Amino acid sequence: MSNEKVLEVRNLSKVYGKGCAKCFESTGPEHNTNICPHCGSIVAAHDISFDLYKGEILGIMGESGSGKSTSVKNLFFDEIPTSGQATFFDDGKQYDLFSLNAQQKRHLRNHRFGMVYQNPVLGLNFNVSAGGNIAERLLMSNLTNYSEIRARAIELLRRTEVLTERMDEMPKNFSGGMQQRVQIAKALATNPPLLFLDEVTTGLDLSVQAAILDLIMEIQRESQTAMIVVTHDLGVIRLLAGRTIVMKYGRIIETGLTDQILEDPQDAYTQRLVASAL
């Protein structure tokens, strides 16, 4: 891990609904709700700020409704934030993410970011073979040589331990774990410096989870990709993340070194969360 900053997020907020002046003060952990009692809007995330450095894995932990996925979706341009700023540092350049135009956003999304979703349907094209999914990503980045594309797809699938004999099969024939591997391969196709992982092992068998987490760590070591790992699973956080943010009802309630959060949690909620881990 170096001292190079990759991402700087300041005061990110996302409200679903028309919103009102009282939304923020009437929602959050102290009020035990995301829903504004005055206008019914949902404050999915408010005032989210954090930094991410090169080669670092940041964990965002929280239960359902905490706003952890929302934060990441806004950074990956799946949604438009209500307010806030995010700066992406890449190769000596700086990008003010939320003020980019559609073409610039698309360029970053296709070339410099990767995203792996909990549900493979969101990250994969089920009308196209596994190898085709990776080809699609490479084609977005203007690769024009068929043999090169195929070779790279094979390399990536091998890296994520998908049997290359199956690369021409449709994703719907794969197990959940294998679909996630294809997603990871696809996300890594363009060697992005920033990778988002949204509950990627949730719902998978434990042994499969372990293998995928292992894979993620290896990849991170090899390529020094900065990652944001969203999960509600303490075990995943412990294994992957050096630093962790704990969220509840759309707010950050605690941040710190992962081992400190797990062994010396300061906030009452975090203490309860850690104590409830099986």
Partner 1 sequence: MSIQPILEVEDFSKTFMLHEQGKELPSSHSVFLKAYPGRLTALIGPTGAGKSTVLKGIYRTYLPTSGRMMFTTKQGQLTDLATADEHQILELRKEEIGFVTQFLHTLPRQSTEDVVAMPLIKKGVSRELALEKAREILGQLNLPERLWAVSPATFSGGEKQRVNLARGLLAQPRLLLLDEPTASLDPKTTDRVVELINNLKQTGTAMIAIFHDLDLVERLADDVVELAPPIGTENFFNSDTNENA
Partner 2 sequence: MSNQANTSDIQFRQASVEYNFGFLDEYAKKEVRRSVLKAIAIPGYQVPYSSREMPMGRGFGTGGLQLTLSLIGKQDTLKVIDQGSDDSVNAVNLRSFIEMTCPGIDTTTKVSEANLIQSRHRIPEQALREDQVLVLQVPYPDALVVVEPSEDKRKIMHGEADYSRLLVKLYEDIVKFDEITISHRYPTRINRHYVIDSSPIPRWDVPKMNDSRALILLGAGREKKIYAVPPYTLAEPLEFDDVPFRVESFDDETDKRRTCHRCGCDHSFLDEFVDAISGEKLYQCSDSDYCDEQLKARSVKQGLEG
Binding residues for partner 2 (CB under 8 A): 102-103, 106, 125, 127-129, 131-132, 135-137, 139-140, 144-147, 149-150, 168
Distance in angstroms (rounded) separating the CA atoms of residues 32 and 105: 35
Q: Which of partner 1, partner 2, none binds 132 (CB below 5-8 Å, type-dependent)?
A: partner 2
Q: Judged by CB under 8 A, does residue 213 bind partner 1?
A: yes
Beta bridge partners of 90: 93
3-state SS class at 256 = strand
Name which position in 185, 221, 248, 249 contacts partner 1 (CB under 8 A).
221
Sorted by sequence, the CB contacts under 8 Å of residue 179 that are 6+ apart come out as 120, 124, 171
Residues numbered 84 to 113 that lie near partner 1 (CB under 8 A) are: none
Asked whether the beta carbons of 111 and 189 are under 8 A apart, the reply is no
**127 touches which of partner 2, partner 1, none (CB within 5 to 8 A by kind)?**
partner 2
Single residue of 20, 140, 170, 210 touching partner 1 by CB under 8 A: 210
Strands (E) in the chain, as ranges, are 5-16, 42-53, 57-62, 83-90, 93-96, 113-116, 194-198, 226-231, 243-248, 251-257
Task: Answer yes or no whether residue 20 interacts with partner 1 by CB under 8 A.
Answer: no
**Tally: H helices and E strands in the chain:** 10, 10
Residue 175 binds which entry of partner 1, partner 2, none, with Cβ cut-offs from 5 to 8 Å by kind? none
How many chain residues are in contact with partner 1, going by CB under 8 A? 28
Helix (H, G, I), strand (E, B) or coil at 230: strand
The number of beta carbons lying within 10 Å of the beta carbon of residue 238 is: 15
32 near partner 1 (CB under 8 A):
no
Q: Which amino acid is it at 84?
A: G
* Residue 264 binds partner 1 (CB under 8 A): yes
The reply to whether 17 sits near partner 1 by the rule CB under 8 A is: no
The Cβ of residue 65 has, within 10 Å, a number of other Cβ atoms equal to: 17
Q: Which is nearer to partner 1, 170 or 211 (CB)?
A: 211
**Residue 266 contacts which entry, partner 2, partner 1, none (Cβ below 5-8 A, type-dependent):** partner 1
Binding of partner 1 by 266 (CB under 8 A): yes
Where do contacts with partner 1 occur on this chain (CB under 8 A)?
1, 3, 51, 53, 56, 210-211, 213-214, 217, 221, 238-239, 242-243, 255-257, 259-260, 263-264, 266-268, 271-272, 275
